[in-house]
Amino acid sequence: MGVQPRVSSVYPHHDLFIPLLFVARVIFVTALELIAPARKISYRSVILYDLIGCTLVGYILIPASQFLSNRIALLASVPEVILALPRGRFVLPLLCSR
């Protein structure tokens, strides 16, 4: 048996990601609203909607999109010229300088 490469996912596979994302969002958005409020609003009146939205996105929409992405594989047709480009950190400046 050979060593299989580790395939990483965009979405971390542990149960703390969504709650930590929500807490970070609450802290960041609250600080931003305290610095420059868009309008006067009671946070207690909307926190329930934030919790519902975070739960829907984290536990229903993201897993559903991953399930569908794994089932639907679309291979992009890439011209050989692009495939022949060097891969590294200098590719973008080379493409932008023309």
Domain membership of residue 4 (yes or no) is no
Residue 32 placed within a domain = yes
Flag whether 51 is in a domain.
yes
**Both tokens of residue 27?**
């802290």
pTM of the model: 0.41
How many Å apart are CA 78 and CA 75, to the nearest integer? 9
Structure tokens at 24: 């970070």
Six-digit token pair at 56?
Answer: 């829907």
Q: What digits encode the pLDDT tens for the residues 10-25?
A: 555 667 777 888 889 8
Q: Is residue 3 part of a domain?
A: no
Give 51-87 pLDDT, tens digit per residue: 899 889 888 998 898 888 888 877 777 777 777 777 6
Q: How many domains does the chain have?
A: 1
Instruction: Give residues with Cβ within 8 angstroms of 85, minimum separation 6.
Output: 91, 95
